[in-house]
Chain A
């Protein structure tokens, strides 16, 4: 499959569960991102990885833990989440260039925290 693939597409978890979101890109890009999309809010950048190195962490709570084992895979580990963390989590990739570079998004993982 080409493009950016996210799994699972839907996830329901309790506040004490541990789960992970997975993202895989087949575009040969060198940068990967996690965004959070909530209703009536801008897309919120959570984490950026360039060449597997984390370069951005926008004050994200520690209950979200990213992992980037290689330039094609990105994970978001979830632990003791809160109901307000329910949202669509979008993974994206790009070919990093200063100030440019189209973002290619995955379909997203819809997370519901009970």
Chain B
């Protein structure tokens, strides 16, 4: 099955700096890559996603890049703010598994004011 690795497990940045979280996957059949944000004590929520026919997608201060050849994708957060502090999960979904989401282990991001 699919194996998703996520790094780093923890990340601290100064407010206003950028944060980058990286994920790799193993199954070349994966074609959908969402990112979820989970604030302390809250539910995970989708913040951005990318499909395999696109190399980059941006939504205000967040962006995701995908390199299908290398099987890795990354989340970029620019001009970080304290409210960006949360755990971020990447996921990969292979086409042949329908709706089977394979999640990474999560990155705990702390933005220091």
State the A residues within 8 Å of B (CB).
Answer: 4, 31, 40-43, 45, 48, 50, 55-56, 90, 94, 96-103, 105-108
Contacts and interface: CB of A to CB of B under 8 A. Distances in A.
Interface of B: 4, 9, 31-32, 34, 36, 42-46, 49, 51, 89, 93-95, 98-106
Contact of B43 (A40, A98, A101, A108): A108
B105 to A, nearest CB: 5
Q: Give the one of B4, B98, B100, B106 with max A CB within 10 A.
A: B98
Given A94-B99, A99-B93, A42 B104 contact: yes
Given A31-B99, A94-B99, A102 B104 contact: no
A9 B59 CA distance: 32
A43 B89 contact: yes
Contacts of B34: 102-103
A98 B98 contact: yes
Given A96-B98, A98-B95, A99-B31, A42 B103 contact: yes
Contacts of A101: 99
B95 A106 contact: no
